[in-house]
Structure 1
Amino acid sequence: MGKTLVIGAGGVSSAAVHKMAMNSDIFTEITLASRRKFKCDDIATEVKSRTGVDIRTAEVDAMDVPAVVALIRESGAELLVNLALPYQDLKLMDACLEAGINYLDTANYEPEDEAKFEYHWQWAYQDKFKAAGLTAILGSGFDPGVTSVFATWLKKHKLDTIRQIDILDANGGDNGQAFATNFNPEINLREVLAEARHWENGAWQPTPAMTHKVEYDFPGVGPKNMYLMYHEELESLSTHFPEIERARFWMTFGDAYIMHATVLQNIGMTGIEPVMHDGHEIIPIKFLTTLLPDPSDLGALTKGKACIGDIATGQAKDGSGEKTYYIYNICDHEECYAEVGSQAVSYTTGVPAMIGAAQVLKGNWREPGVWNMEQLDPDNFMDMLNDHGLPWQVHELDGPVEF
């Protein structure tokens, strides 16, 4: 159905490309490229052994727009799936506009020299993509991504409005490491240590990072401490669902993770400003990243489950008053590794990237412009979650959350 170019060769990319290869009726030809071609070759070898499908590989610097354009044209791709770093989003969007193909990513743009991620940089491309007759899909991971589609599905099928929404992300997995991040360490630590913010009564309410903690009993995972954080879907959901009075994001962390992250921050190892070391300029967090375990290597070590979902309250479609629903997925780390060689965090981002890309290639999401996931029809995406390893369930709760 379509030729696809995937940029990036980390754990998420491996999971996504495996699932694309398992759907060769949709992804007729896949090219995988990154700055380090040997990582693409390793993934291609795994995909071939698991699925029998051949993946083309290439070397490219995602920040080099002419090189990416040349690769797009050489591959014949009609869709670029950006699974590289969020610093590279705008350059890859520029390349898609120049080459005349559609675009999809899993995380919004973040300047490399500032720990600040917002959608406005990418939303500014709306008129360019519309004028070019091209589609750009933003945030087709799990959170953001599936969590936004969950909200849209609830609005389409259960609730006329959403008054408040809480997004809960619990990882109950254990990899046996003293300290490791479940995705790119640099991005993970910048995100976790940023000031927490949530949307309430028409304004952003700030909270110091890692200070607001609540224990919650997650389906399939059990009781975990979750912390209030800022996450990009809060911005898009509060923008596109203006009736929302309060939107919050929560993620679980163990005490050991919090201790290590706090110490690393206190001694300056999470800094993003260059420092001099033995006559060489280095950026502390980039050096730290080289010392920490590669998340793509953790799949064989990780056991346990993850549970991610939304708790939303609003007026019921059937006129029965206000109702609260909890919609979520439970994902098993070991099952993910058995299927595609990745742990659940990579799987829960890579599979929705594949499904979002499938929506573009199938023609379901092809309106020219730049779109967040909650702006798109959810039904086929939700069906594919059930069919491709991320089954979801929805339950009515007794009332709004009390935390």
Structure 2
Amino acid sequence: MGKVLMIGAGGVATVAAFKIVQNQDVFTEFMIASRRKEKCDALVKAIHDKGYKADIKTAQVDADDVEQLKELFNSFKPELVINLALPYQDLTIMDACLACGCNYLDTANYEPKDEAHFEYSWQWAYKDKFEKAGLTAILGCGFDPGVSQAYTAYAAKHHFDEIHYLDIVDCNAGNHHKAFATNFNPEINIREITQKGLYYENGKWIETEPLAVHQDLTYPNIGPRDSYLMHHEELESLVKNYPTIKRARFWMTFGKQYLTYLDCIQILGMSRIDEIEYEAPLADGSGKTAKVKIVPLQFLKAVLPNPQDLGENYDGETSIGCRIRGIKDGKEQTYYIYNNCKHQDAYNETGMQGVSYTTGVPAMAGAMMFFKGLWRKPGVWNVEDFDPDPFLEVLNKQGLPWHEEFGGDLEL
């Protein structure tokens, strides 16, 4: 049915690749490309070692280089490109898709490499170009963003006449038994959580100091966890698409030990994203040195545990959902829709931990919606712009079942 090229070979890409191979009736031809081809080849080997039979092609590509991307796309001729590379590379990949007539899907919005700031405006600006080319671009099809928007769309379609208050809550109650590690790319993760918080209320965006607003929230099968208000990209599209929303916020849990280490990283200057000069010894053993430029956060990424290696000893589970208050048939109603995912279940199936799993599965599901013709229309779209029902049905069958609670205390 579909010829797909996936860019990326990290934890999320590993999960997406396993899921693509499990659904070969939909994904009939599959290529994995990354900056290091050997990572793609290792991923293919991991899939084959699990007993899956699939002809998976691999390739090397620099996703910062539009010409390299165009050469690869013109050679393989994918109908859909799944971008699971870095957010810095979204626009170059979209440019290459336009040049080569490929449709596009990603899991995180664009952000400039030299500025810790993200928003949808850069990618929404491509809407007319994709419409004129007759191509579909699906933005932010992971869990949050992604499933969180599908949950909201499902609530609006089935349970509310008007949504007034929306809180997206994201809890990782797992333990990887490391002193400090991030669950996805450390560079992207630390850039995100050290930004100022941002939420929407009464038609205005309100900024807070990083992680300054927090409160205990109770998560299913987990219990109370300290949850911190953060800026998250899906709020931007949700308040645009659901104008009855009076307030929209995003919350994520962090443990005290994690935040202590994060404070130290910032105090020591290791979260900086600008270049600094460093006197480094030459590799020839001569004892001579040379001045080199490094970005502290990129250096930190190199010495921190690789998120792909956390799964084996990761226990506990995640819980991500939407807590919604609004009006149905003239009466106020509360609604909570969520998924819990156990890290060990994710590891046993794909070799990755639950955070990668909850992002990789929706990426595959969104691609499936595209190939089945259910999420296919020219332009640039967010997940809530499409019918949520078939997407959520696929998630139920592919390892991310969802649950609903009506009339409960949302705590917010």
TM-score interval, normalised by the smaller of the two chains = over 0.9
Alignment partners' CA distance in 1, 2:55 and 2:257: 42
Q: State the Cα deviation string for residues 198-238 of structure 1 (Å, max 9, x = none).
A: 00111111111111121112102222111010000011111
- Find the partner of 2:326 among 311, 314, 336: 314
Q: Residue 328 of structure 1 corresponds to which residue in structure 2?
A: 338
**Secondary structure at the counterpart of residue 162 of structure 1:** strand
**Secondary structure at the counterpart of residue 250 of structure 1:** strand
Q: Residue 284 of structure 1 corresponds to which residue in structure 2?
A: 296
Q: Residue 18 of structure 2 corresponds to which residue in structure 1?
A: 18
Q: Residue 33 of structure 2 corresponds to which residue in structure 1?
A: 33
- Find the partner of 1:382 among 374, 388, 392: 392
TM-superposed CA distance for 1:315, in Å, is: 1.1
Larger Rg: 2
Q: Residue 207 of structure 2 corresponds to which residue in structure 1?
A: 206
Q: Residue 285 of structure 2 corresponds to which residue in structure 1?
A: none
Alignment partners' CA distance in 2, 1:194 and 1:175: 25
**Secondary structure at the counterpart of residue 244 of structure 1:** coil
Q: Residue 140 of structure 1 corresponds to which residue in structure 2?
A: 141
- Find the partner of 2:358 among 326, 331, 348: 348
TM-superposed CA distance for 1:239, in Å, is: 1.2
Structure 1 unmatched runs, 5+:
none
Q: Residue 6 of structure 1 corresponds to which residue in structure 2?
A: 6
Kept after mapping to 1: 8 A contact 2:217/2:411: no
**Secondary structure at the counterpart of residue 163 of structure 1:** strand
RMSD: 0.9
Q: Residue 248 of structure 2 corresponds to which residue in structure 1?
A: 247
Q: State the Cα deviation string for residues 371-392 of structure 1 (Å, max 9, x = none).
A: 0011111110010010000000
Aligned length in residues: 400
TM-superposed CA distance for 1:397, in Å, is: 2.8
Alignment partners' CA distance in 1, 2:161 and 2:391: 20
Alignment partners' CA distance in 1, 2:144 and 2:103: 22
**Secondary structure at the counterpart of residue 181 of structure 2:** coil
1:4-403 to 2 correspondence within 5 Å? 4-50=4-50, 51-278=52-279, 279-316=291-328, 319=329, 321-398=331-408, 401-403=410-412
Kept after mapping to 2: 8 A contact 1:109/1:122: yes
Alignment partners' CA distance in 2, 1:268 and 1:16: 35
Kept after mapping to 1: 8 A contact 2:172/2:318: yes
Kept after mapping to 2: 8 A contact 1:306/1:330: yes
Alignment partners' CA distance in 1, 2:164 and 2:275: 44
**Secondary structure at the counterpart of residue 364 of structure 2:** helix
TM-superposed CA distance for 1:76, in Å, is: 2.4
Letter of the 1:271 partner, please give it. R
Structure 2 unmatched runs, 5+:
280-290
Alignment partners' CA distance in 1, 2:81 and 2:411: 42
TM-superposed CA distance for 1:320, in Å, is: 5.1
**Secondary structure at the counterpart of residue 300 of structure 1:** helix
Q: State the Cα deviation string for residues 20-51 of structure 1 (Å, max 9, x = none).
A: 00000001011000001111111001112222
Q: State the Cα deviation string for residues 61-80 of structure 1 (Å, max 9, x = none).
A: 00111211121122121000
Alignment partners' CA distance in 1, 2:211 and 2:41: 39
Letter of the 1:374 partner, please give it. E
- Percent identity between the two aligned chains: 51
